[in-house]
Structures are given as C-alpha cells and as structure tokens.
C-alpha cells in the first residue's frame, strides 16, 4: 500500500476508486492457480458507489478449495474465460486507484491473468489502498480479517466468500475509513499518478457476465467467528499477509495437503524463514486457543476443532492446553483425549507406517500397557498409532472413514507410561489384599 503522508494535490475528477475482490483456485498466482470470480465496485472521491460488476470465470481446470469459495463446476461451465472479459475489466480499472482487503493478493492474481494474455498492466501495489493495512493504521489493535474489521465498523456482510459480497463490504469499509481523512486525502498524489498511467490494448468480447447461483457459498460457524477475533502480528512485517490467508483457510476448519503446500510456497515468496513460520504457527495456535476461551467455556467439539488446527500447523495438543490454562487463569481442566490419557486398558488399536523401532517392539509395548493390537482397522477400533498422522495408508484412510482417532508415535509413547503406572498400582493393591487375606 502507498505511504500515506506526502504532498497533497487537489483532485481533478470525482471518479477515483475501484474496489476489487477475487475468488481463486488456490493461493499462488504464478503456479497455475486461476481467478474464478471477480467483482468490482467503483467509488467516487467521497466513497459513494458509482457502479458494480461481477462475473464467474471458467478457469479450464479444477476449482480448488470449493469448501472455501463454494463455487461448483456446474456454476462455471457456461461462464466466460478471463480472456473474454479482459477488456471489460480493464475499462473498469483504468485510471482508478485499486482498493482491496489484503489487496496484494488480488493484484497478484490479476497481474498473472493479464500476463497469460501476453500483456502487462499498471496494477501497482504501491499505488493501491489496502483496508487491512488502513485498519491497523487507524485503529491500533484492530483485528486482521475483513469480517472483524467490518464488525468493528458496524458493517454486515451477506454471502460470505462470494466476490461481490466481500467487495461490497470492503467498499463500505473503505468509505467508512475515508471519513477519518481530510478531502483531498493524503494519497491524492498517488491517485494522480495512477490516473495518468496508460493501459495496453486488451482482448475481450461483449460477453455477458455470469452471476454466482444462490446456492454457492462457503461454510461458516464457530471457527470462522473465532478466527475473526485473532489479533494482528506486527513483526515480521509480512506476517499478517501470510496469516490472513491462513485465516481464510481455517475459517472452514481444515487445511488440505494442497493448502499446506501452497502456504509453504506463499511463506517463501513473502520472504518468511522456516523459524519465522514455526513461530507464527505457535503464536497462531495459542491465540486461537485463547480466543476460544472468550466466554469462559469450550465444548469438546470446539476443543477438538482447535486441536485439529494445532496438528495441521505442526503443533501439539499440549500447546492448546497451555494456552487455555493461561487464558483461564488455571481454571481450565485438561480433558482426557486421544493422544493424552483418554484410552482405557483393553482398547483395540492398530499401528500404521514405518517407525524407527521395529513394529514388534511397539506391539509388545502395547500389550504390556494393556491394549489390544490388531492388524486391520474396523469401525469398532478405538485408535490408530501412525508414524505420520497425515498418512495416506490404507489403514489411515480406513480410520478416517470410520471416524477412528489417529495419534502419533510420540503421543502413544507418552500414553504408555501412564498405563504401566496404573498397572503397577493395580498389582500393588492386589498384593496388599492378598497379604491382608493371609494375615487374616
């Protein structure tokens, strides 16, 4: 986003802003991911709406994380391709300052789409406005997500994760923020530069836009509301640009393997090191756990959701325990759960994957701890121990299908001493009772 405070130039025209949002097949514009929906809301210098435009796009490939954007293949079969609407889109954006929430994400995808057509367009991040950055500038302590920023401003969002709904919300949010600045605003000089930038000749047709059907839309719920409560991270500077993408994915309660791969590449492109990413993930899990304790309670299902996020980010459930204990000032009771101490003696279990120690060693340990190892996963199996909890083995897939918990070898290692200790106490009590009977 542009630097705010520089010399002011009086505006020459009222037409000034183009607010945009995109829905995409993934996170990486330079790695075959495509735009599948784009919306534009044009604003005048006062923040008043002049025009709206939206269309679905056929990317000629799979649609990626449909659980996030809610767009079905049937929705885009008759939709135009980007080449068909390039000219229309260029006419909407030319001469206007682009506005978006995490605007660099959307600009990166639009630049990539135009580049596929062999053209370079003047969509410059440093000459755009980002409502995520503005929120942090105007309101220190403001949250990061569009939903949280809008809620703080009293703005409601209808049709979450549709491009038009998010664009309308961003436009309303930007209009709200404009009231905090004089007229003309401090970035007027940058607008004057943008207004004079030449646009290339673009391909396109007069094809009619294809509008998203009513049914489409991502899922929302407790986790989405929780994500909206997470605070910003000031350092490193690119942290929020990474975490806002993580927010979007986790609002739907899961990270797929493809999502995880893309996040690694996004972190690399943002210049984040592995230790920085690990630190951000550790902070994120702690912040999520703390937010989940906001009303003083957390249900088992909600706790399970937070645990799943922790595992997805390479953290452990014990990290969640520690955060909840801090948030509750020690009032939180650590539950019995898979991987801690929630499996009674006699539980049936299955091993999967190549472990450092031989399978026979682990089998004997399980038997000694009172568990019943089996070769195959069945619906009645209590839990599975995996060398890799994300395993795609036949046993792991069966466990997920049957809803059987999968725990790591390290979690199982911690589980065994508790049972061995319990077993020793049982033997001690038996010997004591036998001694009492003999003495009697």
Over the chain (440 residues), the average pLDDT of each successive run of 10 is: 49 79 91 93 96 96 82 89 97 98 97 97 97 91 90 80 91 96 94 96 92 61 79 86 87 70 89 90 88 81 81 80 79 49 78 82 90 93 84 82 83 68 44 42
* Right CATH for 15-196 from 3.20.20.10, 3.30.420.10, 2.40.70.10, 3.40.190.80: 3.30.420.10
- Distance between CA atoms of residues 170 and 164, nearest Å: 10
Work out the burial of residue 7: count CB atoms within 10 Å of its CB; fewer than 13 is exposed, 13-18 middle, 19 or more buried: exposed
Position 11 scores a pLDDT of 46
Mapping DSSP onto H, E and C, the string for 115-158 reads HHCCCCCCCCHHHCEEHHHHHHHHCCCCCCCHHHHHHHCCCCCC
Q: What is the largest CA-CA distance in the chain?
A: 106
Position 322 scores a pLDDT of 83
Position 159 scores a pLDDT of 63
Position 418 scores a pLDDT of 46
Any idea which fold 348-430 has?
Answer: Rossmann fold (3.40.50)
Residues 6+ apart with CB under 8 A from 296: 328, 331
- Distance between CA atoms of residues 269 and 228, nearest Å: 25
**Short-list 257, 302, 288, CA closest to 65:** 257
Position 297 scores a pLDDT of 80
Position 109 scores a pLDDT of 97
Work out the burial of residue 414: count CB atoms within 10 Å of its CB; fewer than 13 is exposed, 13-18 middle, 19 or more buried: middle
Position 217 scores a pLDDT of 47
């Amino acid at each position: 986003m542009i630097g705010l405070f520089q010399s002011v130039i009086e505006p020459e025209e009222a037409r000034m802003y183009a607010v945009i949002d995109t829905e995409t097949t993934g996170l990486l514009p330079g790695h075959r991911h495509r735009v599948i929906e784009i919306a534009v809301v044009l604003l005048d210098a006062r923040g008043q709406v002049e025009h709206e435009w939206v269309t679905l796009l056929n990317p000629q490939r799979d649609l990626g994380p449909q659980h996030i954007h809610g767009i079905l293949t049937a929705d885009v079969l008759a939709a135009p391709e980007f080449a068909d609407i390039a000219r229309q889109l260029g006419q909407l954006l030319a001469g206007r300052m682009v506005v978006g929430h995490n605007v660099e994400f959307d600009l990166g995808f639009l630049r990539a789409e135009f580049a596929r057509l062999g053209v370079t367009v003047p969509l410059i991040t440093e000459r755009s406005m980002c409502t995520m950055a503005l929120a942090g500038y105007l309101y220190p302590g403001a949250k990061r997500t569009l939903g949280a920023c809008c809620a703080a401003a009293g703005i409601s969002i209808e049709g979450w994760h549709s491009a038009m709904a998010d664009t309308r919300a961003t436009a309303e949010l930007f209009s709200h923020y404009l009231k905090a600045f004089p007229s003309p605003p401090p970035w007027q000089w940058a607008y004057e530069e943008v207004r004079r930038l030449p646009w290339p000749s673009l391909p396109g047709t007069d094809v009619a836009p294809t509008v998203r059907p009513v049914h489409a839309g991502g899922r929302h719920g407790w986790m989405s509301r929780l994500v909206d409560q997470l605070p910003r991270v000031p350092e490193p500077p690119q942290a929020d640009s990474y975490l806002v993408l993580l927010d979007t994915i986790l609002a739907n309660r899961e990270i797929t393997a493809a999502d995880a791969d893309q996040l690694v590449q996004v972190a690399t492109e943002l210049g984040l090191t592995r230790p920085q990413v690990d630190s951000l993930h550790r902070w994120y899990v702690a912040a999520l756990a703390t937010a989940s304790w906001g009303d003083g309670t957390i249900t088992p299902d909600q706790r399970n959701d937070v645990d799943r996020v922790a595992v997805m980010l390479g953290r452990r459930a014990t990290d969640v325990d520690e955060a909840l204990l801090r948030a509750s000032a020690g009032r939180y009771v650590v539950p019995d759960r898979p991987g801690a101490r929630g499996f009674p003696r006699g539980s049936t279990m299955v091993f999967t994957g190549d472990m450092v120690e031989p399978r026979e060693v682990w089998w004997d340990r399980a038997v000694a701890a009172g568990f019943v190892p089996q070769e195959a996963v069945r619906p009645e199996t209590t839990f599975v121990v995996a060398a890799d909890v994300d395993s795609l083995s036949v046993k792991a897939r069966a466990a997920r299908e049957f809803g059987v918990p999968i725990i790591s070898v390290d979690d199982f290692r911690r589980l065994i001493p508790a049972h061995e200790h319990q077993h020793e106490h049982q033997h001690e009590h038996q010997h004591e009772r036998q001694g009492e009977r003999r003495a009697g």
